[in-house]
Structure 1
Amino acid sequence: MLPLERQKKILDLLGVKKVLKIPELTDELDVSVDTLRRDLNLLTSQGKIEKIYGGVKLVQSKFGESSMDERMVKHLEEKEKIARKCSEFINDGDCIYLDSGSTTYQIAKYIKQKKKLTVVTNSIPVVNELMNSEVEMVMIGGKIRRDERSVIAYEYLFNFHELNIRKAFICCSGITIEKGISDYNLEEAITRKKIIELASEVYVAADSTKFGKDVTIVIAPLDRIDAIVTDPGAEAGLIQKFKKLRTSLVIADS
């Protein structure tokens, strides 16, 4: 294996496992410790990896989307408030969509006692959370996106139009009044666009840090969104602006 091929494989492996020990890498790549260290030193000098005790990890970008592990614990109190508020919009007998995101994942915790509820999702954590409940689940089929623990679906892999979704709960990375909701990943955005087209009601579950951000891929303008559920950190001026829009801004304060 050429040095460039080894270095790419190291980055690919770290993309899946996040942290790797030196013995793991020497076994996986079938190289000596000295050869591995030369590769690691080069990747470190390029700012792609960071050495830690006994191993290495990927350098986290200051820009772009943070990892799912980080987002699962970041702003957790706010996300739990948002999830509880979202659960109030879900009734017995509904067919809902729960998106693959750290906030929509929290919603799953508050709907286990709903009667005759069907949840359509592309989120592996949501499926795991609801596995031992009586909630009926439909998993969207497609390609596994390991870092997001989600399934990316395309029209040729999954027949979206067979779904009859009453309410969709969508995540995003950015919200502006001018551009609407946006996200970093094109493939995730494609799935969200399709679900927004199909759902009778669309709710965006997003903490207040998402406002004012317009990131890589536009998912939908605000006039396609029925309500945005957020935490009390939303600025007062923003609340006033939403009073003039079709989209409701719902503050989850408890």
Structure 2
Amino acid sequence: MIPAERRNHILALLQDKEFISINDLTENLGVSHMTIRRDLQRMETEGLIKQVSGGAQILRRLLSEPSHSQKEMLCAAEKDAIGRYAAGMIPANCCIYLDAGTTSLALCAHIYERADLTIVSNDFEVINYLISHNCQSGLIHTGGQVQKQNRSGIGHLAAQTIASLSIDLGFLSASSWELRGITTPDPGKVPVKQAVVKSSRQRILICDSSKYAQTATYLAVPISDINTIITDDKLPEHGQRMLANMDLKLIMV
């Protein structure tokens, strides 16, 4: 069996099982552990599976974006730690972008007292938080088509606003991310995130590890366009090793 056929066979086996072990695969396919590990590594890089201790799982697929209220209740401590660390990276007198999401909202809690920034966001909750806390920094909302569940502006109108700006630090969020990059089930988010990549000198993904090894229909930002990832210390060890070999900085808080 040639490698491509073997990987297709592994994928077919995973469609029927939540988990399959390396031992089971070596017995089923009649090849060595090393061969299976190479296959699994390539399949994970291609966004097909997630490697876990002793074997592999199929990547979870995100079919729709969770609502703001759903996300607000999840991983609050991790988001606060990520937001606190990210806030400490922001130098004086710069322009930052905060992507729509509750991790961006957590970051706001650590910068609202600053008056030296220009803060751009497509998130209505982010802008509302900063206004209600009397933030003296300059604020820009991108506008755009209103995504009601996510409480944000999306689509080409929002992207045009971002494209007209020069941003020092672009903080990107994600409901799903993996070794290929940031994915989304919402096509309206794609031009917004791509505009942030083009307009920002540094692109920083702020996202807790519960979103890792999930995928969705649209690849919004390839991993090669991300300079830094800030996540929590629950990121799986194999994910840590794979990201450590990429041209980016991985920070776990």
Q: Judge same fold: TM > 0.5, yes or no.
A: yes
- Distance in 1 (alpha carbons) for counterparts of 2:119 and 2:76: 23
TM-score, scaled to structure 1: 0.70
- Select 2:167's aligned residue among 165, 169, 178: 165
Report the secondary structure of 1:154's partner residue: helix
Distance change in 2, residues 1:225/1:157 (3 Å)? closer
Residues 141 and 153 in structure 1, CA contact (< 8 A), matched pair in contact too: no
Residue of structure 2 equivalent to 1:98? 98
Cross-structure match for 1:113: 113
Within-5 A mapping of 1:106-145: 106-131=106-131, 132-145=134-147
CA distance in 1, matches of 2:182, 2:158: 25
Aligned to 2:187: 186
Partner of 2:230: 229
Aligned equivalents of 1:99, 1:198: Cα separation in 2: 13
Q: Distance in 2 between matches of 1:203 and 1:175?
A: 13
Unaligned runs of 5+ in 2: 1-61
For these two proteins, the number of residue pairs brought into alignment is 190
The 2-side partners of 1:217 and 1:228 are apart by: 20
**Aligned-pair identity (%):** 23
- Deviation of 1:83 after TM superposition, in Å, equals 0.6
C-alpha contact (below 8 Å) 2:114/2:135 kept by paired residues = no
Unmatched 5+ stretches in structure 1? 1-61
What is the rounded CA distance, in whole Å, between the counterparts of 2:165 and 2:141 in structure 1? 11
CA displacement 1:152-195 (0-9 Å, x = unmatched): 24159844332010000011122221x21111211022211111
* 8 Å contact from structure 1 (residues 226, 247) kept in 2: yes
SS of 1:70's partner is: helix
CA contact (8 A) 1:169 1:205 kept: yes
Name the SS of the counterpart of 2:197 in structure 1. Answer: helix
- Point out 4+ residue stretches in structure 1 off by more than 4 angstroms: none
Higher CA-based Rg = 1
